[in-house]
Chains A and B, each alone.
Chain A
Amino acid sequence: MPAGLSAPAGHKPVLDAADIGRAVTRIAHEILERTRGAEDVILLGIPTRGVPLAQRLAACMEQVEGRPVPAGSVDITMYRDDLRLRPARALGHTDLPSAGIEGKTVVLVDDVLYSGRTVRAALDALNDLGRPRAVRLAVLVDRGHRELPIRADYVGKNLPTSQREVVRVLLAEVDGQDAVLLGESPEPCLPGRQESDTGPSGRQETTPGHSGRQEGARA
């Protein structure tokens, strides 16, 4: 981490800015390789931190291929399965490339894969937006503890965690610095429920889960 910026107390860094950069570069190359040059590929980030990740991947892929790769965002709030467990929440931004997703290969991008409920919601959201030819999933961190039959196609870092732990991804675009932090949660946190954000971003960020109690996963 850059000097002057430090992890919140009780969190230990797992990836630093350079690690994140390398992971993003590798995922970008993997996507290019498996999609034969990313033809008809659209990167869709899941707010909040999936969106800057999708943009970074797109920039990296453009550098390699020499032509732009469309990147956007898809908000999943309205499709969550835990809406009734909390007060109504503010919506994120959905921004589809003008060509739409019909017949394209959509790569969903998120920061942390945990219960899989966010991705399930994203698949539902895509269903209402069009019919992609294929949907893939890229995540920066896979911390395990899936509750749904969902698997990532591109993973930046497999991070075996216990459910007591909290994984926090910080990105410069949102948090002012790049880092992945691992912390201890005071109470065991089941996948799909998340800590109330006391962290640097000041924003609540949760995966759809089965509980409205304190979250403990990612920010």
Chain B
Amino acid sequence: MNRHLISAGDLTRDDALLILDTADELAHVSERPIKKLPTLRGRTVVNLFFEDSTRTRISFEAAAKRLSADVINFSAKGSSVAKGESLKDTALTLEAMGADAVVVRHSAAGTPHRLANWVRGSIVNAGDGAHEHPTQALLDAFTIRRRLCPTGTAGATGATGSTGRTGTGGLDGLKVTIVGDILHSRVARSNVLLLSTLGAEVTLIAPPTLLPYEVSGWPCATGYDLDATLPKSDVVMMLRVQRERMNAAYFPSEREYSRRYGLDAARMALLPEHAIVMHPGPMNRGVEIAAEVADSTRSTIVEQVANGVSIRMAVLYLLLGGHEPAHSEPVRSEPAGVTA
């Protein structure tokens, strides 16, 4: 693994699987009476949030604390940034405080990349503008794998039998449909990169105005017709319409958007029996997703939040747990085999 987690595209398949497998183990910690591991004792994790966030910040904070790291929360409001301090000076301050990892969210794409040149610690991108949000993609992949990939490979040969894990391997062949405001979505970009690395087939569905220009270069298919795509989807991921980033009219009215691209009960009925509905949150009930869909048993929205903590624990552990980030072993998934 790299020292930083800035783009989901930087992760190899082995890196991604290592993170998912680690998260699988760490998920059990959240079920225990003592939700704490001593592993990152003495490490400092700074949450540097220039943009509002509820679940991501809390999730990173919980993850770091469960690993016994010291957490410093920094939000731009009420800090020297409000007095006009530059990003670089803020970064140097953090550096002087000895941050081992900086979790950063910023409205400008590329901020984490910039920071990575200024601080010695690991940078974890928690969302930069409309660019990327890799831990969200990881937790989405983790949620998909837990729900849709069969439990364990206990029947497999040799060593795997002794460590029967839940859901191993990639997401090969799964059809994931991402719907909505792709243009402003860092979640969509990270998911396309990560899910395709893991072998899933991703289709983006959006009004033509909300698909980015460069989408033809992404490893995914695109379309405009939600109803035609739903019956062929194992996973449908609804994205929020990001009004705060919209400076023009991308569609005539909210109601019309909702009619064509919103997921209501009737549309959900088009999905195959096993398919799941995801949403990275925060959701606008009644716009991209109907309340009855959001609260149905197919929805993984609450699960995604819980899984977020496990994934972020895994990322922090793999980046900070040793004297350098973990090496993913390419042969890891194969049974150990017979001696020569």
Contacts and interface: CB of A to CB of B under 8 A. Distances in A.
B320 A88 contact: yes
Contacts of A191: none
Give the size range of A's interface with the partner.
35 or more
Contacts of B163: 47-48, 51, 73, 92-93
B162 A94 contact: no
B323 A90 contact: no
A215 to B, nearest CB: 15
21 contacts: A5-B338, A6-B339, A48-B159, A48-B163, A51-B162, A52-B162, A78-B37, A86-B322, A86-B323, A88-B319, A88-B320, A88-B326, A90-B21, A91-B26, A93-B164, A124-B38, A130-B33, A174-B162, A176-B158, A176-B339, A177-B339
Contacts, number: 107
Contact of A128 (B37, B164, B321, B337): B37
A86 B332 CA distance: 18
A17 B104 CA distance: 55
B322 A87 contact: yes
Give the dominant DSSP class at A's interface.
loop
Interface of A: 5-6, 8, 47-48, 51-52, 55, 73, 75, 78-79, 83-95, 124, 128-130, 170, 173-177, 200-203, 212
Given A93-B163, A128-B32, A174 B322 contact: no
B300 to A, nearest CB: 24
Interface in B22-53: 22, 25-26, 28, 32-34, 36-39
Contacts of A78: 37-39, 317, 321
B339 A5 contact: yes
Interface string B288-323: 000000000000000000000000000001111111
B339 A200 contact: yes
B324 interface: yes
- Most B Cβ at <10 Å: residue of A5, A78, A170, A202: A78
A134 B326 CA distance: 35
Contacts of B259: none
B161 interface: yes
B255 interface: no
A201 B339 CA distance: 8
A173 B32 contact: no
Nearest to A92: B163
A88 B328 CA distance: 10
Contacts of B22: 90-91
Contacts of A88: 317-322, 324-326
A90 B38 CA distance: 16
Contacts of A201: 159, 336
B88 interface: no
B313 to A, nearest CB: 10
Interface in B2-26: 18, 21-22, 25-26
Given A176-B338, A201-B159, 20 more contacts: A5-B339, A51-B162, A51-B163, A52-B162, A73-B163, A78-B37, A78-B39, A83-B39, A87-B323, A87-B325, A88-B318, A88-B326, A89-B321, A90-B329, A124-B38, A128-B37, A174-B162, A176-B337, A200-B336, A202-B336
Nearest to A204: B329
B340 interface: yes
